[in-house]
């Protein structure tokens, strides 16, 4: 997640240099082509190319809308994980603790910590970056057990359910508390599956790809047209138009995959850490981990 | 679901060759007509045709928005099926297993496997491709029973409910567990009905059809207009404009029926297999089926 | 619900002949007016009328969006009725049947059939077409009782609730099953009220009416403008522009009232029949009614 | 709620006369200014003003979208109140009536009637029109009690909860019925709060105000531009453009406050009466009040 | 929240003076540049810059839509807090009060007041303005306890849960009432987390930043173009165009952070006070605090 509202020229350049170069190259080429070969033959009416620009602006707008919605949906899912994690810790701690029974209390505390393993392993699997952080909240047997399965966070939820059933069977919790706690596990499972859905569903590539093709169509046509009236000035102005369209399109594309490990993605590290802090403070344990620090001089947080 | 973000020229051509040919034919015809017959009479003001282009861009955008929403809603429904399937397996396994009663355990395991029959038969009925895969998770009697009914997945849900009532009657599950398990069946039923709704409701054909007609109006008018200023160059440029509008419209149309068996549809094979893998791993059974492989050199997955 | 994606010229004409004639009349009039009276005085800049066209395209797009949303919401409500009807039949049959008590079983079967009366009487009241079909699922006393009330489907829900209370009082169902069954009745009630909401709430007429007025403004202005450059050709081109705008607007209007008895409405007959088939197959009764057939050679289904 | 789809010229005029006069005045002024002072100096390129028109059309479209959403959300909230009122009456009548206990039956009937007081007092407080109608469903003590509080419908909900607790304490309803009935009260409370939210949240005035300012900018610029090409004809055409933009904007503004007592608002009188009729018919009481009649010869219903 | 629909010139100026000055400076500079250096070389076709304007209008529209949605979502969350607070007070007071047990009654009353501490401390943490108001509803020990934690409202919810468990353990509330009350705490927790999500998630800065850059591109280009046809008049007209785009963009930006302490934000003071008034009136206590008064002569409420 970017934190700063004003980007330096250097940051803009590092974000766009590739498309800048391609645009300048393309516009220069078109200018030369038009000046030395086409000029006499083709003089496209201005309004015609204007339609193309307007139409493409729509299609970019469409892509951006859907991309933003995916990004915001992803953020909401992890917001729900924060809420449900707090409710899980709170409810387990108070509803499932038979007074004066240390064995049960240990089980319950372990279930609360195991939820942190669920959160951090889900983060790891969404980002596809190898990371064993989640193992710190599990026993050796549990680590061995979950690593045999293809979906680690799901395996952890299965354990939570198994232990909840134990608590119910042994009478530590009654049916009413069982319902409340089970519904939280179902909600964890829903959020996990929703995250995976966004992660695994490719935004229809035909939209993205053809929109890019159309922008290049427009850049060519527009430069062609401007060459006839303003000569070599068509190159910087052609770049400018291309810049506006391509950068807006790129903005959308970076939001399309909100769980990627990149500065514009959802700050999963930060959110997962918040959950850890809230949980460990609830239990009154030490040490409480520090919040995730922004990177690159406060530019973004992961 | 397409997996690649960059299409080769060949893939684009195989996707659009039909409309390309029609466009070139149409533009050539209009060019000839204008040159040899109309030129003297009709010279449409440029801005007039620009309005038409802008208006059509809106209407295409409208269609695409709704088409994308249908596609994403379909994906969400099957995402919910993934989540509820995991919750079903997990809850049945742990909540409905009276310790030390092999008969009950067999019933419960069968109910978990029968859910896989529900998922795969729902997939089959949505895609309308004959496929007996689901029968592997049922007994002969059950196969005979469900095939007598017009809606096989619904018949399977009825069986699940009947067996759940048995578990409740025999005291294996108490009222609280009953509520949690019954609500999962209700959610399966909702997802099934939602999938059928999208499958069976035709996107209003008048929108699709008239938008297509309007695009042809625009292509004709635009070529007519360009012929007057740039002669035969109007043919390639006319094609280009038509290409932008038609391809964007086609993009929308391919998303409108997300359950069709085509590369841009929802990858039901893949999702159903994920459910099978999660379930069989949960039960600790062998062999765990392999994930569905992408086709055509990683181009798409079904 | 229209089923065909390609309309014949005859079908288009039967859908649009009224607006076609009005457009041709209007354009001819404007042409004559401009040629014989105004030409010397008024020559509106092209871009000015272009703005009007663009603005109106927006407002039409706005109407269409909202109209589509109403239509899709209506479809979702009836999709929910399908799902809840299946859950109702399934749950009543298995959860409310005390083994070996024929009297209770008869009550339960009647409550399942009475739900079909609810569905079909709701359909009738939404379409405002007199139809006594629903009475086949009721006793004479019930028919007399509900026809005394102003809202028949609501009266039927009241009966369902009364009988459910009987089952609960007599101990046939326990509190947990009671909750699950009662929540289904509440959902039926919600879907009924949501359908009535869409049926009874007029889409803000000022939007529809003024958009129509604005389209005529545009047609006049556009023809006026084209007459000056292309003479009598302004008539067919004026018609074409008007056709695009009016037909798109009409498309929206036909979706605005999704419960009307017209080819583009929600196919309530078809959906209600699906519910009947599923229910009767569930009960194992005979005869199972046949699905609703499309009309006019497969053009649409009601 | 307007009922008629076609407005007479008189009705249009009564809706728009103010803006019509202002527009004619403004256009005339601009025409005179341009003709006698500016003409020689300023000749704005047509396309420039076209951009302004297009941009403003967007911003109006944005306002209208949000306004419509507020209006439809308001309608949905009151639709939910209809549904929950029916469920409330139905559930109270059948679930809370211990057979053969007249005292309890009287309490329950009063609680059903008190809900009508809740609905009608909520209507009154949303419309801010003094109206004592709701008192007919309350006892003198209750009237005195609620009028001491600042929020009367909320005070009535508190009474419902207090009496529900009484029914639970005295064993008339069991825990399961208690849950179902309490959840209905929570839903009533939610709908009440949602109505108040829409009522009390001013639509961001800066949007509305600046959009209005921008429309005047455009009208001036547009008339200025047309004066140069068509002279005094710029006045009627300038009015027409302004009319299109202002009327569309006004359409949005009238929907923004759906609970105002005005013809385009939500017909709360009508909806509240529907609830009364359904409830009184359910109880079998007399007289059933008559539906609310449309006003002004069927033009609208309040 | 602004309350007035008409802003005075002074208020507009105080809202926009910064951008006004920058625009006038920029336009003058461009005018001078074009007149004394560029005029002979660059004459950009009008329609080209029109495309840019239209495209930017889209992108502004996109930003505004999302900003409005954030603002309205924030308002809905606090609307839900109002509703759930009323339900909390109402349910605690009536469902958790064992008759004739003063100790329990004191606990319950304190839990109702503690909820006010939750609301006001949540407000404080969202606005990041130091404010000890919430402490008035807590005991000294509680204040000490919560201030040790990083998230005060969350710590208060933990206390509510702990005390609810006490009530359940001691038999004051049964399982059914426990479920209803616990679900309210879960909803409080959800609303808290949702508020924090909006507060802590920066709206993608690349959208905001680049849109601003693009507007300046357009202002420059537009002034350049107008200078050629209308000379120094390009300065006021250039300002006007920039004003329309920048002000609309600013409108969006002010809505993006709805929990900021600024006149266009959500009026948290006002909403929190409404909750206090409703709660204290419910308990029949004195004094009932006065509603929050609008500031600056009724211009806005915080």
Per-residue pLDDT of D210-267, as tens digits, reads: 899 999 999 998 888 888 778 888 898 889 989 999 999 988 888 999 999 988 899 9
Tokens of D222: 């547009």
CA distance D136 to chain E (A): 23
Tokens of E109: 């009353």
What is the number of other CB atoms lying within 10 angstroms of the CB of residue E35? 14
Tokens of E161: 């849960």
B48/C176 CB distance under 8 A? no
Q: Which H or E element spans position A173?
A: none
Nearest to B54 among A51, A157, A205 (CB): A51
D57/C42 CB distance under 8 A? no
Tokens of E165: 């468990």
| Degrees, nearest 5: CA angle E52-E53-E54 | 95
How many C×D Cβ pairs under 8 Å? 162
Tell me the C-alpha distance between E148 and C73, whole Å.
Answer: 49
CA distance C83 to chain B (A): 5
Identify the residue whose tokens are 């040490």: A287
Question: At how many degrees (to 10) do helices B46-95 and A152-169 cross?
Answer: 40
Tell me the C-alpha distance between C87 and A158, whole Å.
Answer: 27
B182/C91 CB distance under 8 A? yes
Report the share of chain E in percent with pLDDT over 90.
58
Over range A9-26, report the average pLDDT.
86
CA distance C186 to chain D (A): 6
DSSP B137: G
B204/C65 CB distance under 8 A? no
Residue numbers in D near C34 (CB within 8 A): none
Tell me the C-alpha distance between B24 and B239, whole Å.
Answer: 6
Using 50, 70 and 90 to split pLDDT, how confident is the model at D133? very high
Tell me the C-alpha distance between A119 and E178, whole Å.
Answer: 28
Identify the residue whose tokens are 């600046």: D210
CA distance E45 to chain A (A): 7
D254/C206 CB distance under 8 A? yes
> CB of D63 within 8 A of CB of D252?
yes
How many A×B Cβ pairs under 8 Å? 162
Residue numbers in E near D42 (CB within 8 A): 230, 233
> CB of C36 within 8 A of CB of D38?
no
- Burial class, D287, CB count within 10 angstroms (exposed 0-12 / middle 13-18 / buried 19+): exposed
Residue numbers in A near B68 (CB within 8 A): 62, 66, 204
> CB of B93 within 8 A of CB of B108?
yes
pLDDT at C141: 95
Identify the residue whose tokens are 């064995």: A103
**Residue from D228, D237, D283 to probe the interface with C (highest C Cβ count within 10 Å):** D237
Which distant-in-sequence residues (6+ apart) come within 8 Å of C210 by Cβ? D247, D248, D251
Nearest to B228 by CA among B44, B29, B7: B44
Burial call E163-190: b when 16+ CB within 10 Å, e when fewer:
bbbebbeeebbeebbbbbbbbbbbbbbb
Residue numbers in E near A282 (CB within 8 A): 158
| Chains touching chain D, criterion 3+ CB pairs below 8 Å | C, E
Nearest to C164 by CA among C120, C114, C122: C114
| Chains touching chain A, criterion 3+ CB pairs below 8 Å | B, E
Nearest to A46 by CA among E51, E61, B295: E51
- Reported as a single tens digit per residue, the pLDDT across A212-222 is 999 999 999 88
- Reported as a single tens digit per residue, the pLDDT across A262-301 is 888 999 999 999 999 999 999 999 899 999 999 878 888 8
DSSP C97: -
pLDDT at E42: 65
C281/B151 CB distance under 8 A? yes
Residue numbers in B near C275 (CB within 8 A): none
CA distance D100 to chain E (A): 26
φ and ψ at residue A291, rounded to 5 degrees: -60, 155
- What DSSP line would sit under E115-172, residue for residue? HHHHHHHHHHHHHT----GGGGGS-HHHHHHHHTSS-HHHHHHHHHHHHHHHHHHTTS
Considering only alpha carbons, which residue of chain B is nearest residue A205? Answer: B5
> What are the residue ranges of helices labelled H in C201-289?
205-230, 234-256, 268-283
Using 50, 70 and 90 to split pLDDT, how confident is the model at C99? low
Identify the residue whose tokens are 């190259």: A25
Nearest to D55 among E53, E237, E255 (CB): E53
- The partner residues of E300 in beta bridges, in order of sequence, read E2, E295
Residue numbers in C near B55 (CB within 8 A): 53-54, 57, 244-245, 248
Question: How much helix, strand and coil, in percent to the nearest 5, is found in chain E?
Answer: 75, 0, 25
Residue numbers in D near C183 (CB within 8 A): 180
> CB of D272 within 8 A of CB of D260?
no
pLDDT at A278: 95
- Please state, rounded to an integer, the average pLDDT across all residues of chain C: 90
Residue numbers in C near B151 (CB within 8 A): 278, 281
Considering only alpha carbons, which residue of chain E is nearest residue D55? Answer: E57
Nearest to D233 among C42, C52, C183 (CB): C42
Considering only alpha carbons, which residue of chain D is nearest residue E65? Answer: D62
DSSP D295: B
> CB of E2 within 8 A of CB of D206?
yes
- Reported as a single tens digit per residue, the pLDDT across C1-52 is 888 777 788 888 888 889 889 999 999 998 888 888 776 666 677 777 788 8
Nearest to E252 by CA among D210, B245, C172, C158: D210
Nearest to D151 among E2, E95, E278 (CB): E278
**3 state SS of E102:** helix
Nearest to A204 among B226, B255, B277 (CB): B255
A186/B87 CB distance under 8 A? yes
D214/E244 CB distance under 8 A? yes
Task: Compute the CA torsion angle A144, A148, A150, A154 (nearest 10 deg).
Answer: -50
Tokens of A145: 């057990």
Tell me the C-alpha distance between E154 and A126, whole Å.
Answer: 27
**Residue from A278, A279, A299 to probe the interface with E (highest E Cβ count within 10 Å):** A278
CA distance B46 to chain C (A): 8
- The partner residues of B295 in beta bridges, in order of sequence, read B300
Tell me the C-alpha distance between B94 and B108, whole Å.
Answer: 10
Tokens of A123: 């983060």
- Reported as a single tens digit per residue, the pLDDT across E261-300 is 988 899 999 999 999 999 999 999 989 999 999 987 788 8
Considering only alpha carbons, which residue of chain B is nearest residue C98? Answer: B169
Per-residue pLDDT of chain B (302 residues; tens, 9 = 90+): 888 777 788 888 888 889 899 999 999 998 888 888 766 666 677 777 788 888 899 889 888 999 999 999 999 999 999 999 999 999 999 998 766 688 888 999 999 999 999 999 999 999 988 889 999 999 999 999 999 999 999 999 999 999 999 999 988 999 999 999 999 999 999 999 999 999 999 998 888 888 999 999 999 988 888 887 788 888 998 899 899 999 999 888 889 999 999 888 999 999 999 999 999 999 999 899 999 999 878 888 88
Tell me the C-alpha distance between B89 and B279, whole Å.
Answer: 6
Nearest to C44 among D47, D68, D237 (CB): D237
- Reported as a single tens digit per residue, the pLDDT across D258-267 is 999 988 899 9
**Residue from B19, B74, B79 to probe the interface with A (highest A Cβ count within 10 Å):** B79
pLDDT at C39: 61
> What are the residue ranges of helices labelled H in C96-174?
102-127, 140-147, 152-169
Question: Complex ipTM, two decimals?
Answer: 0.94
Task: Compute the CA torsion angle B89, B91, B96, B98 (nearest 10 deg).
Answer: 100
| Chains touching chain C, criterion 3+ CB pairs below 8 Å | B, D
φ and ψ at residue A93, rounded to 5 degrees: -60, -45
Using 50, 70 and 90 to split pLDDT, how confident is the model at D35? confident
D51/E47 CB distance under 8 A? no
CA distance B62 to chain C (A): 7
**3 state SS of A295:** strand
Considering only alpha carbons, which residue of chain E is nearest residue A49? Answer: E48
For chain D, domain boundaries: 9-283
CA distance A4 to chain E (A): 7
CA distance C146 to chain B (A): 30
φ and ψ at residue A124, rounded to 5 degrees: -60, -45
D251/C206 CB distance under 8 A? yes
Nearest to A176 among E55, E175, E192 (CB): E175
> CB of D5 within 8 A of CB of C209?
yes
Nearest to C165 by CA among D108, D81, D185, E183: D108
Tell me the C-alpha distance between D17 and A219, whole Å.
Answer: 47
Nearest to E7 among D62, D193, D209 (CB): D209
- Reported as a single tens digit per residue, the pLDDT across E45-96 is 777 778 888 889 988 988 899 999 999 999 999 999 999 999 999 999 999 8
pLDDT at E134: 94
Residue numbers in D near C208 (CB within 8 A): 5
Tell me the C-alpha distance between A90 and E266, whole Å.
Answer: 29
**3 state SS of C265:** coil
């Amino acid at each position: 997640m970017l934190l700063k509202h004003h980007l330096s020229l250097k940051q803009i350049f590092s974000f766009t240099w590739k498309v800048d170069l391609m645009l300048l190259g393309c516009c220069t080429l078109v200018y030369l082509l038009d000046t030395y070969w086409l000029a006499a033959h083709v003089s496209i009416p201005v309004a015609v190319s204007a339609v193309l620009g307007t139409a493409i602006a729509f299609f970019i707008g469409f892509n951006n809308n859907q991309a933003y919605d995916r990004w915001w949906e992803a953020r909401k899912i992890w917001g729900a994980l924060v809420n449900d994690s707090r409710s899980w810790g709170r409810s387990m701690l108070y509803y499932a603790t038979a007074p004066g029974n240390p064995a049960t209390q240990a089980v319950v505390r372990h279930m609360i910590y195991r939820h942190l393993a669920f959160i951090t392993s889900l983060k790891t699997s969404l980002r596809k970056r190898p990371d064993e952080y989640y193992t710190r909240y599990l026993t050796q047997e549990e680590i061995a057990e979950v690593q045999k399965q293809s979906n680690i966070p799901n395996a952890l939820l299965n354990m939570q359910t198994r232990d909840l059933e134990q608590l119910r069977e042994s009478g530590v919790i009654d049916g009413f508390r069982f319902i409340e706690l089970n519904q939280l596990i179902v909600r964890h499972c829903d959020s996990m599956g929703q995250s995976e859905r966004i992660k695994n569903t490719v935004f229809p590539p035909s939209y993205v790809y053809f929109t890019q093709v159309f922008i290049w169509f427009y850049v060519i046509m527009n430069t062609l047209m401007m060459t006839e009236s303003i000569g070599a000035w068509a190159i910087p102005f052609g770049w400018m138009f291309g810049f506006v369209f391509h950068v807006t399109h790129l903005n959308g594309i970076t939001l399309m995959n909100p769980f990627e490990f990149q500065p514009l993605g959802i700050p999963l590290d930060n959110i997962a850490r918040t959950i850890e802090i809230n949980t460990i403070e609830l239990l009154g344990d030490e040490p409480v981990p520090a919040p995730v620090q922004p990177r690159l001089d406060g530019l973004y947080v992961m």
